[in-house]
């Protein structure tokens, strides 16, 4: 544990390139997933992306965005059975 810090108390940090690439890939994929959920909300709400982005930017958590997506889909759905099936898949 003592080897983790320099003498001046600063933390030693060694960047491992393989880990950095993996972390970058995960961050990129997560951003794409969030974008796809946003675009789905905008499409189901039948709003243009600029206006939709103003709305979805106010939803801070991913769970909140998924809840909004389900709510918009429920409002637009002709079949309650389809919505129930997709809700159960999310759980």
Evaluate if pTM is beyond 0.75: no
Q: What is the pLDDT of residue 88?
A: 59
Local confidence pLDDT in tens for the 91 residues of the chain: 557 777 777 777 777 888 889 999 999 999 999 999 999 999 999 999 999 999 999 999 999 999 999 999 888 776 555 555 555 555 5
Q: What is the pLDDT of residue 2?
A: 58
Each domain of the chain, given as residue ranges in start order, spans 60-91
CA distance 14 to 5: 12
């Amino acid at each position: 544990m003592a080897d983790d810090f320099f003498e001046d108390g600063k933390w030693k940090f060694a960047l491992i390139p393989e880990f950095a690439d993996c972390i970058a890939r995960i961050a990129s994929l997560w951003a794409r997933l969030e974008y796809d959920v946003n675009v789905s909300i905008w499409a189901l709400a039948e709003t243009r992306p600029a206006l939709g982005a103003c709305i979805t930017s106010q939803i801070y958590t991913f769970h909140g965005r998924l809840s909004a997506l389900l709510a918009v889909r429920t409002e637009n759905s002709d079949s309650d059975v389809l919505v129930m099936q997709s809700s159960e898949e999310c759980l």
